[in-house]
Amino acid sequence: MNFSFFKNPTVKFLFFIFLFYISWYCIYNLWLHPNEILDTFVINKSRDTSKWILEHLGYVVFTGEEGVVGIDGSGGIWIGDGCNGIALFALFTGFIVAYRGNWKLKIVYIILGIACIQFLNVIRFVALAILDVHSRAWTEFNHTYTFTIIIYAFIFMLWILWVNKFSKKKV
């Protein structure tokens, strides 16, 4: 059997991404998600940080045990497993790991990238909580479309930055 097509860098990249995704899917769904420790930690940190930002913007804020944060007078938003950003962290990590580059630099870039993605996600929660005071319909629209596009575009931009600026650097 001839596997010479694996010498193509694009094929190797796509194959690695596929393997990474399958591995992540299995690890997350069979161990991490049922365990709930990682999800709970990220949701609680996101909720608490969102609350802190909203309070510093002058809002009276409420929170709930299950990842709920909101401004008084609204129903609040619920930060669930699908919105906590963990899948985005894995997506970003997979793209960086799959592409060439120095491993020490990759580790630093992945940590900083995940921190930036988390920060953007918290800003999304803050914006959604503020929108929820004014219009539930706008909250749903922006949650479904606007912020999804912004976050995926940001991850793509981080990957392009890696490819163009950092993947060829030696440490």
Q: Does residue 21 or residue 1 have the better pLDDT?
A: 21
Domain residue ranges of the chain, discontinuous segments joined by +:
7-166
Rounded CA gap, 118 and 72, in Å?
25
Report pLDDT for 1.
58
Report pLDDT for 8.
83
**Mean pLDDT within 18-31:** 93
**Mean pLDDT within 21-25:** 93
- Model pLDDT for residues 121-150, shown as the tens digit of each residue: 999 999 999 999 999 899 999 999 999 999
| Structure tokens, 71 | 């401004």
In three-state secondary structure terms, 64 is strand
Residue 19 has pLDDT above 70, yes or no: yes
Report pLDDT for 24.
93
| Structure tokens, 171 | 């440490």
Counting beta carbons within 10 angstroms of the beta carbon of residue 29, is it exposed (0 to 12), middle (13 to 18) or buried (19 or more)?
exposed
- Model pLDDT for residues 145-170, shown as the tens digit of each residue: 999 999 999 999 999 999 999 988 76
- Model pLDDT for residues 76-106, shown as the tens digit of each residue: 999 999 999 999 999 999 999 999 899 999 9
Q: Which residues of 138-170 are buried (b: 16+ CB within 10 A; e: fewer)?
A: ebeebbeeebeeebeebbeebbeebeeebbeee
pTM, full prediction: 0.89
